[in-house]
Copies of this chain bind each other. A is one copy, B any other.
Amino acid sequence: METLRLYDFLPSGNGYKIRLLLSQIGMPFERVEVNILKGETQTPEFLSKNPNGKIPLLEVKPDKYLAESNAILVYLSEGTEFLPYDRFLRAQVMQWLFFEQCSLKPCIAPLRFWISILGKAEEYKEAIEQKRESGYAALKLMENHLQSHNFFVGERYTIADIALFAYTHVADEGGYDLKQFPAIQAWIERVKAQPRYISIKEELQH
């Protein structure tokens, strides 16, 4: 098997998803840091690998690239315990992956970026206020689901949990108050208790 190469940016929640799954699968990989704050995803060289100019990007084979964090999660988890075999359960995983990218991440991730990564809460004040309500609505939907489920799909830890965990567990860095969501908090602890868990700040040793 070839060694996978992951183009990544350590503070990225989308990048962290892939690091976390690879750690839990136990699959060795080479990590290449691409600093988005220095425009390193917009160089001609990087754009030749991913025309959309985004990390994470997985080099599956020499010169064969896969973009979109949740597409990478699906690719890597096929045939493992992290993606259900049952067709309807697998479809529910997909549903949550699209919910994460369409309804959760657009309201949670930019606030964390503006407030905690750029340190520019004042400058982005209006945009932050615009997104706050939708962000809380997405979290409330997750809270309601977790009030009667231990994990998002099939009562087992899957890539749906990995995808949703990435930005949710650091939502406080975007000014979200997670104390309002006890079921989310309990689920966060269940995710952190999974074998081979690594934190978002932890660079894998390999």
Contact mask A129-165 → B, CB, 8 Å, 1/0? 0000000000001001100000000000000000000
A66 contact from B70, B95, B144, Cβ within 8 A: B95
Cα distance A70–B91 in the bound complex, in angstroms = 10
> Contacts A66-B91, A88-B60 known; A71 to B97 CB distance under 8 Å?
yes
A91 contact set on B, CB distance < 8 A: 60, 66, 71-72, 74-75
Contact mask A77-99 → B, CB, 8 Å, 1/0? 01000000001101110110111
A67 contact from B88, B95, B145, Cβ within 8 A: B95
Cα distance A64–B103 in the bound complex, in angstroms = 21
Find out whether the CB atom of A68 lies under 8 angstroms from the CB atom of B95. Answer: yes
Cα distance A147–B103 in the bound complex, in angstroms = 32
Nearest CB of chain B from residue A194's CB, rounded to whole Å: 24
Q: In this assembly, does A101 line the interface, its C-beta being within 8 Å of a C-beta of chain B?
A: yes
Find out whether the CB atom of A99 lies under 8 angstroms from the CB atom of B68. Answer: yes
A94 contact from B71, B92, B103, B144, Cβ within 8 A: B71
> Contacts A51-B145, A52-B141 known; A94 to B70 CB distance under 8 Å?
yes
Q: In this assembly, does A1 line the interface, its C-beta being within 8 Å of a C-beta of chain B?
A: no
A52 contact set on B, CB distance < 8 A: 99, 103, 141
A75 contact from B68, B87, B141, B145, Cβ within 8 A: B87
Q: In this assembly, does A102 line the interface, its C-beta being within 8 Å of a C-beta of chain B?
A: yes
Nearest CB of chain B from residue A140's CB, rounded to whole Å: 9
Cα distance A75–B99 in the bound complex, in angstroms = 15
Cα distance A120–B86 in the bound complex, in angstroms = 45
Contact mask A46-76 → B, CB, 8 Å, 1/0? 0000011000000010001011111110110
Residues of A within 8 A of B (CB): 51-52, 60, 64, 66-72, 74-75, 78, 87-88, 90-92, 94-95, 97-99, 101-103, 106, 141, 144-145
Q: Given contacts A52-B99, A74-B94, A75-B91, could you give 5 more A-B pairs where the C-beta distance is less than 8 Å? A: A52-B103, A60-B91, A66-B88, A68-B99, A98-B98
